[in-house]
Structure 1
């Protein structure tokens, strides 16, 4: 008899098991790891602390023990390395993502529309939720705040490097197109005190951006501009930064965004495409990220060459491309 690790049927069952990821999400949503960490380890006490039915909770805990998320100990339950890791400070964002009543789960449900995405090349979010992602982004404050926080976290990682490594000396002003609450802009302005700048994003972001800019220390040099990068963009800026935006869109829309930037930049400005690429080895082992981009947003992972091709289609000439350790990529363009 074939062992479970080699039996195709067993492997297929493991690959298609939805109970396990939802069991972990349920445990996080109910606060089970937190209560155990606080010393509540018995079934009855855990049920009381989490407001759950004891018998149903026991069935959940039994599966969590079976998969190694929890362990049985001294007649109660204990954390394992996996569940303990989830309570660490560095995993706070992942914990929020896993909550079944939060925006992360709402976004992940777009995977149910993956067949639609593969058929059409478009986002699977609308077939699942009945509304396109970016429309929901504008009307759902929790979704917008959560997604914006993820983007801001990326900006805090890449912004200081961009501020230090790019030659900003001849630049007087910069605008971050689709820059959310302005996290990347703030880092650039902090690193380059001579610069003035703006961040452009959809009107519902205005209040959150104002709050972020007010506490940034560069408010006197930064402003929020409401708008869409599919519409005419404000002219007169020396640099138009498009950071981690194009990955969220299919090729045709990415070209439209870059074309708007090219029109606004004119002959005197430049367009800076700023992305963080996974790298070949990372992408090979994390192909699910590309599928997430497709299913959630209709976007895709791209190479430096891909961005250069998009720029050319938008009427831009590539002046040069740079890459840094960690995956940061800068493609600098000007009017062709």
Structure 2
């Protein structure tokens, strides 16, 4: 490598000497009132030198600034990787481009004041994850004013509106998210929109929401909302057919658990439940029978039920007041839905209020 560099240097010197020999012509120089004479090669070399000098003087301060930023960024990332969050923040201070990295350190230290002072959308997301809802909402709204299509802000405001029960606003925001999201995330966002629409039907009883939810994405919740919409509008046959179709998609157990509090509807679905009882989870089947007071149908299942549900079944069918009170306590404490973060719920919800993740709650019996 050194030999190649030496050869290149000798070659450049030879070119320079050839240029000097061929451009020894003396030329006249005029600059305002000054007049003089100089060799042509001197003028050319002087022009080149001045060009490099001006460029150096213009770009060198920027280069020094960029070098400081890169050095601070490298140092800060190394500190983050080693778990020194406060030291990492100090490395990221004073530059808006590295503020995002500082957000993570402040989040890990739960330094709310520091997060409030940052303007990065990620800081608003960190505030939301720390359950500082109002502060996060204020930051997200300011971001939307500047960047109407900012996905982080749209998703954050969607989550906040869902937590506050503002389902219409959450649906509108999710439609914007679906419009702007990346291709890899489109299916997940369609599922979120569908479950928001289904939740909106359950609170508003507007059948259009249930139909649209089912068309957008088929989940246990959208199935349940559509079945309920048919039943509420007097279309019982359509509700029964749709419930039977859910067996083909393997969603019948979740649907039955979502509809567990709808005794009148469960009664209308009983023919299908009895006909397909072998396909239904034993615990789910027992809970349906208990909800409808069909204790005689629960007895054959007692031997295969887990202890908790066997105790619930036996206590529910007992004539003793103490046993029925025990059954009521067991039923109220039953949380059959579990998020991947470990939080359990009595009823299904599309988003976990603890970890703020969507579509991560499953039936765990």
Q: TM-score, normalised by structure 1?
A: 0.24
Higher strand share: 1
For the pair shown, the structure with the greater C-alpha radius of gyration is 2
Where relative contact order (Cα < 8 A, 6+ residues apart) is larger, the structure is 1
